[in-house]
Structure 1
Amino acid sequence: MTERYRSVPHATMAASYCQGTIRGTDPASFNSEDAASRLRKAMKGLGTDEHQIIRVLTEHNNAQRQEIKDKFKTCFGRDLIEDLKSELAGHFESLCLYLLMPARYFDAFCLKNAMKRLGTKESHLIDILVSRSNMEIQDIKTVYKELFKSDLEDDIKSEVSGDFQRVLVGLVQGGRSEEQAVDDEAAKADMREVYNGGEGLLFSTDEDVFNKVLVTRSIPHLRKVFELYKEYASKDIEGAIIGEMSGDTQKAFLAIVHYVKDPLKFFAKCLFDSMDGAGTDDERLMQLVVSHSEVDLQDVSEVYQKEYKATLVEHIKKDTSGDYRKLLLQLTQGGGTNGVKESS
């Protein structure tokens, strides 16, 4: 059962409790030395036992994988990451390595990865920055600075511009209100300000108003603002954003709205979009599966099936292949101790 929705007020959905697909080995029976030995055996000598690597990685949660990684070096004087790099390739290698990164390290890595290639992966940035708590954002910035010797905010400013840049910079501050009580009069005032900054203007849109309200207000407050907006205006808030904005700015504001309204539905759409159309965005798919496997992936999968009339497993089978697909399926269905067999 996830701690994110339970312990982070702005992500809470009406007392719903979510659970991931990877829960790890029972602490009473967890043996990091045994797991490290299994990995060493899987990579020693001629050939590689990919099946065993998949089992070990999916039988254990992230905290246990960190212990296994340390024990591997202690027992064998070898670096597990380097051994996996020498034995594996392609998306399967990347996914294995991602599973061995601590959570906020992985977030920082994904943000950097989204900006370091030719052409920034805007959706990858949005997925993370829209959905992390204030505390998680602060931790990400600290880890990012340690890993890459640069500030996350500065790197974002160097890669994107305009109103989209301002949305991301606002999110990177990690300053969203976490107040759970809703002041109806304050919500009405924000609703009118958003309306007057968008539909209420004849020739332009005041993106600053949208930015201030959508980036800084608490989740319960925003839900009330959106409810009031629909009653007051000719469109709902999504329709207003679509009508008033375009490009990445529109995508970012819509992502905030969708996340606020229903986080599980938001993540299901992100997963669907990663596999929709021509070609799979494998980096985005891996980013989402790894990030949510211990948090809420079981619940996201259930919403996915309702929304898209097919299971997440079915779409992964269709859009991926080989050991990469097997590992993704184990993560999606539940690995090792959850009793789910590998799917081919």
Structure 2
Amino acid sequence: MSYPGYPPTGYPPFPGYPPAGQESSFPPSGQYPYPSGFPPMGGGAYPQVPSSGYPGAGGYPAPGGYPAPGGYPGAPQPGGAPSYPGGQGFGVPPGGAGFSGYPQPPSQSYGGGPAQVPLPGGFPGGQMPSQYPGGQPTYPSQPAAMTQGTQGTIRPAANFDAMRDAEILRKAMKGFGTDEQAIVDVVANRSNDQRQKIKAAFKTSYGKDLIKDLKSELSGNMEELILALFMPPTYYDAWSLRKAMQGAGTQERVLIEILCTRTNQEIREIVRCYQSEFGRDLEKDIRSDTSGHFERLLVSMCQGNRDENQSVNHQMAQEDAQRLYQAGEGRLGTDESCFNMILATRSFPQLRATMEAYSRMANRDLLSSVSREFSGYVESGLKTILQCALNRPAFFAERLYYAMKGAGTDDSTLVRIVVTRSEIDLVQIKQMFAQMYQKTLGTMIAGDTSGDYRRLLLAIVGQ
């Protein structure tokens, strides 16, 4: 069966990356893709995205237009604590509670009449929501807003003048003290490509390195945020991966967040940048810093060979669902290689169809089964792939929430996600954040940060 209008063709190129086949001529004259002045190293389940309209203008699904809180099973009620997400890992409810607390997906996005789909198991106490007698919910049809492309909070500034901006930054750092507000006004309202031009104009005009000057004027989280904003996207991802594996210990969640969420083209660019900038092989570093099934998953990811054909093969989805069941729930023990093969190679629309087929066949959602069959970082990695197949902005919203929840703040994660998604889908991440946690991203940032660091973060997220 084919779904009308689904899907549009392939991923658009990632902002700032060379078009396929033009790598040798990249970057354009006057742009510097990989800077030399940056600091050396060392110094369960989501709401489904609509099928039609994926990927959008930024290469990712548009999540706007989900049912309002209270209009889906397991939704938090006004004034109450959110029932989703919670628990371990990336916020999957304890015990693999499945789809219970997330907004239920609009199944009619594939066309046809309203879908009658058995609700996945895992509701608290084993009870189905009372508003769905017999446990057979009719999901709402897809709102038109969901078909729109994704959007970043930062867009290229109109009437851009790199020399003028370089002069503003020079004056802000000249003399006694630093005019942080002037710096915030410039960097929070320019695209990454424009920041690269400002950096080049600064060196041309003053014979000095802008990054070194900024480092000498700033410190702490503000310094980390400013430097991240001036790194080209590919370099920043490669730098973050290197930092996560350098020294004692490994930041596995950083490896998962980057390698399991990027497109093929992004990953291939990261691998090339990692080699050219740090003189190291990314796959070898992964092998030396991780082990077992987690190592194999990350090695699969860094190949950048996921199928990106946006059409869905429903026969394959049914077969893959059966294979995953037989590799996990349907046997004693787990065939980890089967999960790795399917989740590492299938396109995201194909994985969504497989998850739907699995829920119908196994009466349990696939994320719950992964929770039951795996543990540790390989569990988190597999869930991240599935969560991004369902709704990538919701995955990042959850990561932001847990970076700020409770005592202390994981500032590196906060900075990394805000910066890397600011020109891609931060608008949709903000929408999902408000829907999932009944508070705005800006409100939570304001409560967890302070000073110029808070001011710049809020300017980026558009508060």
State the TM-score, normalized to the length of structure 1. 0.92
Q: Does 1:47 align with 2:177?
A: yes
* 2:243 corresponding residue in structure 1: 113
- Between the aligned partners of 1:277 and 1:12, the Cα distance in structure 2 is 30
* 2:416 corresponding residue in structure 1: 287
- Between the aligned partners of 2:421 and 2:277, the Cα distance in structure 1 is 23
* 1:182 corresponding residue in structure 2: 312
Question: Please, which of 79, 82, 100 is the counterpart of residue 230 of structure 2?
Answer: 100
- Between the aligned partners of 2:331 and 2:419, the Cα distance in structure 1 is 43
* 1:21 corresponding residue in structure 2: 153
- Look up the equivalent residue of 1:313 and give its one-letter code: G
* 1:304 corresponding residue in structure 2: 433
How far apart are residue 219 of structure 1 and its match?
A: 1.1
- Between the aligned partners of 2:348 and 2:148, the Cα distance in structure 1 is 15
Q: Does 1:58 align with 2:188?
A: yes
* Larger Rg, first or second structure (1 or 2): 2
How far apart are residue 277 of structure 1 and its match?
A: 2.9
* 1:323 corresponding residue in structure 2: 452
Question: Please, which of 253, 259, 273 is the counterpart of residue 123 of structure 1?
Answer: 253
For residue 18 of structure 1, give the secondary structure of its aligned residue in structure 2.
coil
How far apart are residue 118 of structure 1 and its match?
A: 3.1
Question: Please, which of 151, 158, 161 is the counterpart of residue 31 of structure 1?
Answer: 161
- Which one has the bigger helix percentage? 1
- Look up the equivalent residue of 2:238 and give its one-letter code: A
- Ranked by relative contact order (alpha carbons within 8 Å, sequence separation 6 or more), the top structure is 1
Deviations 1:60-87 (A, max 9, x none): 1100000000000000011000001111
2:261–2:384 Cα contact (<8 Å) kept: no
* Runs of 4+ in structure 1 over 2 Å off: 2-9, 11-16
For residue 47 of structure 1, give the secondary structure of its aligned residue in structure 2.
coil
Question: Please, which of 378, 392, 404 is the counterpart of residue 275 of structure 1?
Answer: 404
- Between the aligned partners of 1:217 and 1:178, the Cα distance in structure 2 is 8
1:24–1:58 Cα contact (<8 Å) kept: no
**Which 5+ residue runs of structure 1 have no aligned equivalent?**
334-339
- Between the aligned partners of 1:193 and 1:296, the Cα distance in structure 2 is 33
Structure 1 residues 8, 93: CA separation in 2 closer, same or farther (over 3 Å shift)? closer
Question: Please, which of 356, 364, 373 is the counterpart of residue 244 of structure 1?
Answer: 373
- Look up the equivalent residue of 2:153 and give its one-letter code: T
- Between the aligned partners of 2:309 and 2:269, the Cα distance in structure 1 is 21
* 2:383 corresponding residue in structure 1: 254
**Equivalent residues in 2 for 1:139-154 (5 A)?**
139-154=269-284
Question: Please, which of 376, 392, 397 is the counterpart of residue 263 of structure 1?
Answer: 392
1:141–1:151 Cα contact (<8 Å) kept: yes
How far apart are residue 89 of structure 1 and its match?
A: 0.5
Structure 1 residues 135, 8: CA separation in 2 closer, same or farther (over 3 Å shift)? farther
For residue 262 of structure 1, give the secondary structure of its aligned residue in structure 2.
helix
1:8–1:133 Cα contact (<8 Å) kept: no
- Between the aligned partners of 1:122 and 1:16, the Cα distance in structure 2 is 33
* 1:90 corresponding residue in structure 2: 220
State the TM-score, normalized to the length of structure 2. 0.69
2:58–2:424 Cα contact (<8 Å) kept: no
Deviations 1:271-327 (A, max 9, x none): 112112332111111110000111111111011001001110111111111211111
How far apart are residue 7 of structure 1 and its match?
A: 6.2
Question: Please, which of 140, 158, 163 is the counterpart of residue 293 of structure 2?
Answer: 163
- Look up the equivalent residue of 2:396 and give its one-letter code: F
Deviations 1:186-235 (A, max 9, x none): 11111111110000112x11110000000100111111110000001131
2:234–2:269 Cα contact (<8 Å) kept: yes
How far apart are residue 123 of structure 1 and its match?
A: 1.4
Q: Does 1:235 align with 2:235?
A: no
Question: Please, which of 130, 135, 142 is the counterpart of residue 265 of structure 2?
Answer: 135
Structure 1 residues 52, 117: CA separation in 2 closer, same or farther (over 3 Å shift)? farther
2:61–2:150 Cα contact (<8 Å) kept: no
- How high is the sequence identity, in percent, across the aligned residues? 43
How far apart are residue 15 of structure 1 and its match?
A: 4.0
2:57–2:151 Cα contact (<8 Å) kept: no
Structure 1 residues 294, 8: CA separation in 2 closer, same or farther (over 3 Å shift)? closer
- Between the aligned partners of 1:8 and 1:319, the Cα distance in structure 2 is 29
* 1:336 corresponding residue in structure 2: none
- Look up the equivalent residue of 1:219 and give its one-letter code: F
- Look up the equivalent residue of 1:330 and give its one-letter code: A
1:3–1:295 Cα contact (<8 Å) kept: no
- Between the aligned partners of 1:175 and 1:277, the Cα distance in structure 2 is 38
- Look up the equivalent residue of 1:273 and give its one-letter code: Y
- Look up the equivalent residue of 1:287 and give its one-letter code: R
Structure 1 residues 316, 12: CA separation in 2 closer, same or farther (over 3 Å shift)? closer
How far apart are residue 16 of structure 1 and its match?
A: 3.5
**Which 5+ residue runs of structure 2 have no aligned equivalent?**
1-11, 15-54, 63-145
CA-based RMSD of the aligned residues comes to: 1.5
